[in-house]
Amino acid sequence: MICGIGIDLVNIPRIERLLRNWEDRFKKRVFSQNEIDNSQRYMRSSERFAANFAVKEAFFKAIGNGFKGNIRMVDIEVLHDQYGKPYINLYGRAKQAAETAQINSIYVSISHDGDYATAVVILER
């Protein structure tokens, strides 16, 4: 049963500015080391960072308590399987929130084109 849907749209040039101005401080506050390493393998890494940022924001919307639950962005890790399909690993308060809500499946879709990256997250009990 679907119990949460979230969607987010991120302006890639905005993420590029954050990466340029705050560099490692921004990356380490928002992304796991796996996300950083995976994103930096690409020529336009800012698209990857923006897409992962969108997934995290979409998760907050889907879970329903967003930043009120003191979930840190770094507690939501966006990875890809061997076929490129995105998935989420949860840690800390994000994991606790999902367990409390009895979430047993998380579906993720990501897209980017031009100046925008978007993500949809669907939570299922």
Q: Is the pLDDT of residue 46 over 70?
A: yes
Domain around 25: 2-124
Total domains, the chain? 1
Residue 29, CA distances (Å) to 19, 38, 51, 70 in order: 12, 16, 16, 14
Q: What is the pLDDT of residues 58-106, one digit of tens each?
A: 999 999 876 566 899 999 999 999 999 999 999 999 999 999 999 999 9
Q: How many CA atoms lie within 13 A of 72 on its CB side?
A: 11
Distance CA 1, CA 35 (A): 29
CATH number of 118's domain: 3.90.470.20
Indicate which residues carry an active-site annotation.
61, 112
